[in-house]
């Protein structure tokens, strides 16, 4: 088994997780300090806010389904922790964090799974994504 590395893609996901944590924590703390009805404001502050709230809720649910399915496919343990953690932090933190850990798992090598992009190190002559005239070499 090879050691997992922090690939550029994993670092992008990790940076997005940090941004998601800081931004949502700040706004959530501000809502608590002002004693706002967080869920009420999300749904009852007009059609635009309700639309954004509904949009994000549906994306979060789809993301949770993807998270569980992908974690099982790759043999990643404790995938439910990301979902539970999103209830006390934010999905904008836990989903990119999961993607960063997923990228590291893919770099370790999983039978039947491949990284989403081939790098110069992983390309071989004549393979898809390699110097075979497909424009991606």
Give me the pLDDT at residue 4, please: 67
- Sequence ranges of the domains in the chain: 8-107
- The dihedral region occupied by 129, where left means phi > 0, alpha psi between -120 and 50, and beta the remainder, is left
Model pLDDT for residues 64-91, shown as the tens digit of each residue: 999 999 999 999 999 999 999 998 899 9
Give me the pLDDT at residue 130, please: 46
Give me the pLDDT at residue 83, please: 95
Give me the pLDDT at residue 132, please: 45
The Cα–Cα gap between 50 and 119 comes to 42
Give me the pLDDT at residue 109, please: 81
Question: Are the C-beta atoms of residues 101 and 76 closer than 8 Å to each other?
Answer: yes
Question: Are the C-beta atoms of residues 10 and 113 closer than 8 Å to each other?
Answer: no
The Cα–Cα gap between 26 and 132 comes to 49
In the chain, the N- to C-terminal Cα span, in Å, equals 28
Residue ranges, the chain, pLDDT below 50: 130, 132-137
Give me the pLDDT at residue 116, please: 53
The Cα–Cα gap between 82 and 41 comes to 25
pTM: 0.69
């Amino acid at each position: 088994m090879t050691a997992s590395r922090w690939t550029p893609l994993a670092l992008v996901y990790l940076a997005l997780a940090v941004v998601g944590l800081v931004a949502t924590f700040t706004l959530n703390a501000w809502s608590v300090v002002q004693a706002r009805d967080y869920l009420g404001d999300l749904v009852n502050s007009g059609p635009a806010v309700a639309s954004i709230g509904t949009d994000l809720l549906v994306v979060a649910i789809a993301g949770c389904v993807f998270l569980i399915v992908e974690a099982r496919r790759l043999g990643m343990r404790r995938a439910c922790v990301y979902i539970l953690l999103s209830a006390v932090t934010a999905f904008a933190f836990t989903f990119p964090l999961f993607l960063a850990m997923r990228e590291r798992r893919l770099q370790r090598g999983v039978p039947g799974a491949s990284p989403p992009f081939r790098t110069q190190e992983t390309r071989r002559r004549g393979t898809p994504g390699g110097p075979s005239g497909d424009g991606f070499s």
